[in-house]
Chain A
Amino acid sequence: MFNRMKEKTIDAKELMRMAKNGDSEAFGLLYNEYFVPVFRYIYLRLKSKEEAEDLAQTVFLRIYKSLPRFRDQGKEPLAYFFTVARNALIDYWRKKKDKKLDDDEDFEEKNSGANINEAERISNSCDNAELVKQALGELDGERREVIILRFMEGFSNKEISELIGKSEEAVRQIQCRALKSLRNKFKELNLYEK
């Protein structure tokens, strides 16, 4: 269901090799394939779409400029794109008054006023995507990141462990705790489908 490998349609490694050799068209194809997942990852870790768009532009420019230095280490290029995005997020938060990766105080403050009635009103207007974003926003940065990478972008536990620099066992634990936390939040926001 959430296995990204089954959705793979392009030979990304070959395109990356061509893009590294200066083939702008190959980079364009990679961009078309990866822009949405990378943007989504950034957007769900920031407050606003505008901030996410600005940062996404920065991320892709960094990737483009770093292509000559890219070394194929046997991983999918998407992992490289996400690594650059992750590092860009870290830099972004550091610039915003030295915030840590898992410190989303601003985000939580923005959503702390929401009550169940408000949640019901929003759910009645069928804006469940925003509620899902809100529910994810209630998680700490690390758990939110694992949930997004695992269940939205289809990374395996092994790939996630390489991306965030933790063991697979640690990733599994983070994942389970995040899902248990989301159970209560989804109930509260009436997100379970009937």
Chain B
Amino acid sequence: MKNNFDEQFERILDEGLKLREQGMSVSEIVSKFPEQADELREIFQITEIIYKRKEQFAPSENLLRKILRALPNEARAAGFMPRVSSLFRWPALPYAMATVAVILALTLGFELYRPVVDHEKTAIDEQPIAKIETGAETAATKIVAETVDLEKNLTALKKEISDFDKELSEIEKIANDKSFDNLDSLLSKIDGEIM
């Protein structure tokens, strides 16, 4: 049968534990209940020892991993199928899927766009080259033509020079012919030969 002392101590202990939980120190609590000081100190020490030792009752790391690995297999065997498969456990998957979709769209779009791009590329490329080729041909033709003309002119010039040389030789003959009395007679004779 519970006596009043037990009931009283239980109430004090309960109060003391509440105050301890609220952050009051052991010495402060004990000072509130000096008659139960020794018992309270021992009991608070017991609760602290129990709390401190709890980490030493932990399982092994291997057990942790072993159970976690075994869970999906056993759960599947028992008929529990997660709605989300392991493939979709990757937290970034939605972003990855969006990225893949964008890449696919870009690839398909590029494939569709490429003929247009290629045609334009060819047409664009052909124009400058064609012009250059045409221009080159034209220029070459002109140069050839001019060269031919130059050659003709050169030939004509050579002939004139040759003719002049002949005439000059005649003039020298005449000049060396001392049968002329004066310069005027000589000049008249040269004019006559040239004409």
Which stretch (B63-71, B154-162, B185-193) binds chain A?
A: B63-71
* B10 touches A (CB below 8 Å): yes
Within 8 A of B (CB), among A49-64: 49, 52-53, 56-57, 60-61, 64
Instruction: List residues of chain A with CB within 8 A of the CB of B80.
Output: 64-65, 67-68
CB distance from A193 to the nearest CB of B (A): 7
Given contacts A2-B21, A176-B10, A183-B46, contact A57 B70 (CB under 8 A): yes
* B43 touches A (CB below 8 Å): yes
* B53 touches A (CB below 8 Å): yes
Residues in A lying within 8 Å of B, measured CB to CB: 1-3, 21-25, 27-28, 31-32, 35-36, 39-40, 43-44, 49, 52-53, 56-57, 60-61, 64-65, 67-68, 128-129, 132-133, 136, 147, 151-153, 172-173, 175-177, 179-180, 182-183, 186, 191-193
A-B contact pairs, 19 of them (CB 8 A): A2-B21, A3-B21, A22-B84, A24-B82, A24-B86, A32-B64, A39-B57, A56-B63, A56-B67, A60-B71, A65-B78, A132-B53, A175-B17, A176-B10, A179-B13, A182-B46, A183-B39, A183-B43, A191-B49
Residues in B lying within 8 Å of A, measured CB to CB: 9-10, 13-14, 17, 20-21, 39, 42-43, 45-51, 53-54, 56-60, 63-64, 66-68, 70-72, 74-75, 78, 80, 82-84, 86, 89, 91
